[in-house]
Structure 1
Amino acid sequence: MSIRLRAMAVLAAVATLLVGFASTASAHGTTIDPPSRNYGCWQRWGSDFQNPAMATQDPMCWQAWQTDTNAMWNWNGLYREGVAGNHQAAIPDGQLCSAGRTQGGRYRAMDTVGDWKAVNKSRNFTVDVYDQAFHGADYYRVYITKQGFNPITQALRWSDLELVTTVGKTPPQEHTFLNVNAGSRTGRHIVYTIWQASHLDQSYYWCSDVNFS
């Protein structure tokens, strides 16, 4: 590669980083523990997102970075507006993790079926919602996939989920901890969290991959 082309490639990478940081600074929020799929990819690879080793070490994140890098830089922007509480009507089966291909399909790679990195959790755990913009909540709803669902081979449908936790009106605060009981579940599951923000009719949707020990 010529010096000129190499310089152009470096400038392009820097521009991507700056766009990402600017978008992150505008702030909304996500689940950081267990991490949403795009937040986990940003957390693990944000400082090294062009590393080809990701393809073998973390292939689901690799395909996500290749699909749209802004889905990870904008880990706090996975929401829809104007849903009016009709979540199942707004988001089709198979598109739950991307909030129905919201933001022009930016987060579509989150719906890709495969072996996403999962964090180990006990059956009683907390979901840490990072309300970066201090929106507050009208409510939170936490779902977990039913026993027998296999997130490695199956696309997520509403019928695969069971509502396990509901928390009502919550004031703006940086972190909200939602207590969750997974019952008798074991093995791999998806935790699906809906945050209905209070400042607007703005609904956030996050898939987090867990392994119940």
Structure 2
Amino acid sequence: MHTQSQPHAQLHARPRARRWAPRLTALLTASAACLATWTGAALAHGSVIDPASRVYGCWQRWGNDFQNPAMAQQDPMCWQAWQAEPNAMWNWNGLYRNGLGGNFQAGIPNGQLCSGGHAESGRYNAMDAVGAWKTTTIRNSFTVKLQDQASHGADYFLVYVTKPGFDPTRQALTWNDLQLLTRTGRYAPSQSYSINASTSGRSGRAVVFTIWQASHMDQAYFICSDVVFS
């Protein structure tokens, strides 16, 4: 009797293992996400959170639901970014380049401004994708709010906006598309900074491009925020 019952038990064990497989996969995926989040926090730097940078906005909207297929229709630019490199979103605060010495146009080619010239071995390349990124509505006078989790401080900030007529849904961003709104002085180390900027007579879609030259070393951040002027 014992020799016959053993194969019978094995036949029932296999479907049970198959039923557990999706749960195990989901558990491993969640664990990987938590690890990636912890890694991002350990390497904390910063980004513009208002108007939200492309990478921060994608993390903010979908970080807790990044496997939801509805993102493809509801937020297609973030969808392509999550598919290209999820670690870019978990590390939304790490889009920077070292050692440029302020010579940004030489170090960042046209069409690669939003990825910092393919920073971090191309981790953020999807930020350069042309399309209808989600926008933040702002006025002609607005404030750029930057979160600095590591309290690096700033030698200065440069805040640009794209010139009238530039269409980020159809054109890759180049240096010639930008006009400088403000260059600040130094900021003491803190976890948040506010930079006032203003333009005039603007309406419709644009890109606010912020460069943050950190103070702790020669480290520069390149941040694209999609906006609509009200």
Q: Same fold, TM exceeding 0.5?
A: yes
**Structure 2 residue 188 is matched with structure 1 residue 171:** yes
The residue identity in structure 2 corresponding to 1:55 is A
> Where in structure 2 are there 5+ consecutive unaligned residues?
1-16
Structure 1 window deviating more from structure 2 (21-30 vs 153-162): it is 21-30
Query: Of 147, 152, 163, which residue of structure 2 is paired with 1:130?
Result: 147
Query: Of 107, 112, 119, which residue of structure 2 is paired with 1:90?
Result: 107
Q: Give the 5 Å matches for 1:85-164.
A: 85-164=102-181
User: What is the CA–CA distance in structure 2 between the aligned matches of 1:26 and 1:99, rounded to whole Å?
Assistant: 18
User: What is the CA–CA distance in structure 2 between the aligned matches of 1:104 and 1:52, rounded to whole Å?
Assistant: 27
User: What is the CA–CA distance in structure 2 between the aligned matches of 1:21 and 1:118, rounded to whole Å?
Assistant: 28
User: What is the CA–CA distance in structure 2 between the aligned matches of 1:3 and 1:24, rounded to whole Å?
Assistant: 34
> Residue in 1 aligned with 2:25?
8
| Number of residue-to-residue matches in the alignment | 213
Superposition deviation, residue 29 in structure 1? 0.5
Query: Of 215, 218, 224, which residue of structure 2 is paired with 1:198?
Result: 215
Superposition deviation, residue 163 in structure 1? 0.5
Runs of 4+ in 1 over 2 A off after TM superposition: 1-5
TM-score (norm 2): 0.90
User: What is the CA–CA distance in structure 2 between the aligned matches of 1:66 and 1:72, rounded to whole Å?
Assistant: 10
Q: Give the 5 Å matches for 1:72-87.
A: 72-87=89-104
Superposition deviation, residue 131 in structure 1? 1.2
> Where in structure 1 are there 5+ consecutive unaligned residues?
none
Q: Which of the two has greater helix per residue? A: 2
Superposition deviation, residue 168 in structure 1? 1.1
Which secondary structure state, in structure 2, belongs to the residue aligned with residue 189 of structure 1? Answer: strand
Which secondary structure state, in structure 2, belongs to the residue aligned with residue 133 of structure 1? Answer: coil
| CA deviation string 1:161-210 (max 9, x = no partner) | 00001111110111111001022221000000000000010000000000
User: What is the CA–CA distance in structure 1 between the aligned matches of 2:85 and 2:133, rounded to whole Å?
Assistant: 17
Superposition deviation, residue 26 in structure 1? 2.5
Which secondary structure state, in structure 2, belongs to the residue aligned with residue 2 of structure 1? Answer: helix
The residue identity in structure 1 corresponding to 2:165 is G
TM-score (norm 1): 0.97
Percent identity reads 58
**8 A Cα contact 2:43 2:94, kept in partner:** no
Which secondary structure state, in structure 1, belongs to the residue aligned with residue 114 of structure 2? Answer: helix
Superposition deviation, residue 16 in structure 1? 2.8
Query: Of 177, 194, 198, which residue of structure 2 is paired with 1:181?
Result: 198
> Residue in 1 aligned with 2:35?
18
**8 A Cα contact 1:24 1:75, kept in partner:** no
**8 A Cα contact 2:113 2:173, kept in partner:** yes
> Residue in 1 aligned with 2:52?
35
User: What is the CA–CA distance in structure 2 between the aligned matches of 1:181 and 1:210, rounded to whole Å?
Assistant: 13
Please give the root-mean-square deviation of Cα atoms over the aligned residues, in Å. 1.2
Q: Give the 5 Å matches for 1:26-65.
A: 26-65=43-82
